[in-house]
């Protein structure tokens, strides 16, 4: 099948039509599911028909008060920022050591770092939570942070190692010959060069930690629940609760994740990161 665009004849193969049809079908299904939740969160009653019987915003206020979403959002932000800071503090020096040193078992160690990222978190979350409960850390904010560090630190190492490998070691050697100390080399020379990679890893970990359910659910207590765990409890807790309240909470969670993704795409452009790596070769 052909179409005319700008004076040129563009031919679309049947395979292309199938791909575009599948994409459009998926987007329609996604828009229908998300749209139904959003509409229901503003509806008074919605049993029959295409639209609710009336519109209101009181479900958001009720959900905010009943589940103390202000406190939940603060806890979510505290956990996410703490995980980002600690994982960068541990992961960047570890990535530097792996990029600059050769030692026996290096490949085995890199594969070990991949395991917490590749395997489902629930597989190691249960024994991890058991250990944290044994040391009286689970149920507290510190326990939630420690649990989320298990996949976060290896993620930083795997992201930062290629960035460090692209930096010519001669730059560091020249700085040492000029009398620069190790601290100055890291802060004044390597730091600016590694900043794009660190920023990319930080934002990706931030999004991952906010959406991490399994590890947070297994180690969180009443005062250390993140937004995704609070959403689960709102669905599964006993008692009669209006469906609109749950949908309102789901909309709040979705909007929070969308804000994080917009920030990630605003400050971290994957194309620019790839270009910067190639320019360092």
Residues 47 and 86 in one domain: no
Residues 24 and 84 in one domain: no
Strand partners, 55: 43
Residues 180 and 274 in one domain: yes
Residues 85 and 46 in one domain: no
* CATH code, 126: 1.10.3720.10
Number of domains in the chain: 2
Whole-model pTM above 0.75? yes
Domain residues for 151?
60-280
- Supply the mean pLDDT for the chain: 82
What whole-number distance in Å separates Cα of residue 243 and Cα of residue 59? 9
What whole-number distance in Å separates Cα of residue 188 and Cα of residue 181? 10
Residues 100 and 181 in one domain: yes
Q: Give tens-digit pLDDT for 2-42.
A: 444 455 555 557 777 788 888 888 898 888 888 888 888 88
Residues 156 and 176 in one domain: yes
What whole-number distance in Å separates Cα of residue 253 and Cα of residue 124? 26
Task: State the DSSP string of 56-68.
Answer: -SHHHHHHHHHTT
Average pLDDT over residues 126-152: 92
Residues 34 and 108 in one domain: no
Q: Give tens-digit pLDDT for 148-168.
A: 999 999 999 988 888 888 888
């Amino acid at each position: 099948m052909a179409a005319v665009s700008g004076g040129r004849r563009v031919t679309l193969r049947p395979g292309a039509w199938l791909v575009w049809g599948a994409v459009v079908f998926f987007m329609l299904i996604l828009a229908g599911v998300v749209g139904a939740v959003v509409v229901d969160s503003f509806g008074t009653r919605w049993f029959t028909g295409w639209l609710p019987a009336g519109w209101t915003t009181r479900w958001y206020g009720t959900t905010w008060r009943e589940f103390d979403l202000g406190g939940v959002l603060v806890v979510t932000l505290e956990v996410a920022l703490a995980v980002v800071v600690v994982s960068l503090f541990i992961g960047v020096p570890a990535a530097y050591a792996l990029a600059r040193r050769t030692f026996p078992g290096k490949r085995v160690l890199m594969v070990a770092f991949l395991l917490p990222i590749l395997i489902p978190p629930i597989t190691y979350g249960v024994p991890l939570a058991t250990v944290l409960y044994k040391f009286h850390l689970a149920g507290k904010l510190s326990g939630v942070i420690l649990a989320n560090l298990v996949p976060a630190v290896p993620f930083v190492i795997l992201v930062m190692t290629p960035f460090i490998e692209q930096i010519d070691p001669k730059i560091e050697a020249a700085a040492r010959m000029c009398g620069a100390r190790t601290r100055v080399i890291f802060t004044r020379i390597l730091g600016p060069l590694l900043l794009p990679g660190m920023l990319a890893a930080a934002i990706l970990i931030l999004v991952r930690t906010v959406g991490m359910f399994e590890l947070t659910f297994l180690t969180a207590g009443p005062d250390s629940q993140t937004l995704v765990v609070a959403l689960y409890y709102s669905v599964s807790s006993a008692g009669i609760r209006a469906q609109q309240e749950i949908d309102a909470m789901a909309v709040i969670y979705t909007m929070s994740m969308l804000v994080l993704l917009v920030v990630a795409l605003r400050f971290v452009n994957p194309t620019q990161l790839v270009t910067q790596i190639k320019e360092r070769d």
